[in-house]
Structure 1
């Protein structure tokens, strides 16, 4: 059995169009080899994890023209925005927008026509997308069977991510876009599908939210009729200034959402313990919340009752 012919070094990890294979000395037989995948018609990839949105998008970029960009939920995902689980699955089609009168038609792709003046940019991974604020507005049209409440949560969670820079030592990275960018994008979007939901979501967007579960918690408290907690309130403690997830400064009550990562990482768990102790020593009541408190109806009710008593 003859040895498999190596690919050119610059194709060792990535994707290429089958129409250009001969230019690189790749035969038809070589393109049928088991080490090559076919993520899209006319495309071969090697070494890409096609379960990963960024790498799957890299394979699609092979056939995209200069007048095309990733859009809708695909663009949001490429900018790191949290998305409903169904949109993160490998068989979820990629959304690609084309300037002009035609749209991309290909298995594994949902094509859209976008206006000639639609602004585009490069994602952190160098993939062309519509600007994030525009992608957020487009996402409002992707109901996919979600209820109003589910769609609202998805929109607000994504927008909270866009206007909040990631935490880093000593502060935050610059935000992906500003609230003003979202306002302008909604105005430009006009009366398109989902416009009313966008307007409602826009009023609920807050900078400084670090996870979709924090967004869900904040919206849940509002739905229960409680005053809106403050995001980004700074508490002076013996550990220095600390920023709780949510706070009610007038009652010195704060809420900390703790995901599984807090429990599974020993160092983080110990840090959380000291953080809570420092808040308490500074005279604050700390309410610790986890995913079960949001998912279970009885636990949600108990949390609301506890907060009502503390805030009354």
Structure 2
């Protein structure tokens, strides 16, 4: 059997955001049918899939379901995992639409994943020969679409992942970057560039979301800036260097996204900087 669903996603280092119900409402996303299960399944449930002989478990902390038979990928400690697209489809009924997009953004922005040459993982992992059975595969939107086409096209979870794929953006490095971008797009602003590369006298810097032709950018500061004083000082210096180069910057924290009044304030700033949005 292989690991699947949120278990496989976590082992691959892909984000599985939970909570943030306000975000799903704001972005008019579908309500996941089993959203209430996500927290427990992330913390205390192991998900497995069988292919061939049916398998069962008497333990409530182990969930086993039939595999969708996409290829095997190699996880940490040589753990066999289902393909990340299959894992995401299995988990989709517990995840909000924007969270599925965040997981896909991470998958599309990461490096290669070791994937089995044999799509049905026969003769899996025989000692040192395991590396010969896996080849590095970089996931692209086209590859994800091809994998989704191998699954039941009308299944609710497949449709949810396909819809989330249409909202992905390259070079997105965190789920909060995904969420900020989706709010910006929902507000009607022109497409932005993610993690804009800017060369400064102090080295290359990257801006979370930017419009390089207008030299306007948004930065999201996560928890590390609250807990790591060195990171905070480095961030303040970096922002001032960028402003000296002519960039107009707005720094956001989580409350700026979740609170309606604070969100309206920075969206209004963006309108003044970029012009009236389309909607």
Tell me by how many angstroms 1:202 deviates. 0.7
Which ranges of structure 1 fall in alignment gaps of 5 or more residues? 1-67, 167-173
Tell me by how many angstroms 1:87 deviates. 3.3
Matched, 1:159 2:111: no
Aligned to 2:73, the other structure's residue is in SS state: strand
Distance change in 2, residues 1:75/1:176 (3 Å): farther
TM (norm. structure 2) is: 0.75
Superposition pairs of residues 1-312 of structure 1, within 5 angstroms: 68-85=1-18, 87-89=38-40, 92-100=44-52, 102-107=54-59, 108-115=61-68, 117-140=69-92, 142-143=93-94, 151-165=96-110, 177-189=139-151, 190-312=153-275
Tell me by how many angstroms 1:187 deviates. 1.6
How far, CA to CA, are the matches of 1:161 and 1:153 in structure 2? 12
How far, CA to CA, are the matches of 2:197 and 2:63 in structure 1? 44
- For residues 45-98 of structure 1, the C-alpha deviation after alignment (integer angstroms, 9 at most, x for no partner) is xxxxxxxxxxxxxxxxxxxxxxx1011222111111111346354764222110
How far, CA to CA, are the matches of 1:88 and 1:125 in structure 2? 25
- For residues 88-147 of structure 1, the C-alpha deviation after alignment (integer angstroms, 9 at most, x for no partner) is 5476422211002523323212211114x431122134221102232223322x23xx6x
| Matched residue count | 230
TM (norm. structure 1) is: 0.68
Q: How large is the RMSD of aligned CA atoms in angstroms?
A: 2.2
Aligned to 1:244, the other structure's residue is in SS state: strand
How far, CA to CA, are the matches of 1:288 and 1:194 in structure 2? 35
- For residues 186-206 of structure 1, the C-alpha deviation after alignment (integer angstroms, 9 at most, x for no partner) is 222233222322222111112
- Identify the structure with bigger relative contact order (alpha carbons < 8 Å, sequence gap 6+): 2
How far, CA to CA, are the matches of 1:100 and 1:175 in structure 2? 25
How far, CA to CA, are the matches of 2:43 and 2:15 in structure 1? 18
How far, CA to CA, are the matches of 1:84 and 1:285 in structure 2? 30
Distance change in 2, residues 1:91/1:161 (3 Å): closer
Retained in 1: the 8 A contact 2:102–2:178? Answer: yes
How far, CA to CA, are the matches of 1:239 and 1:78 in structure 2? 36
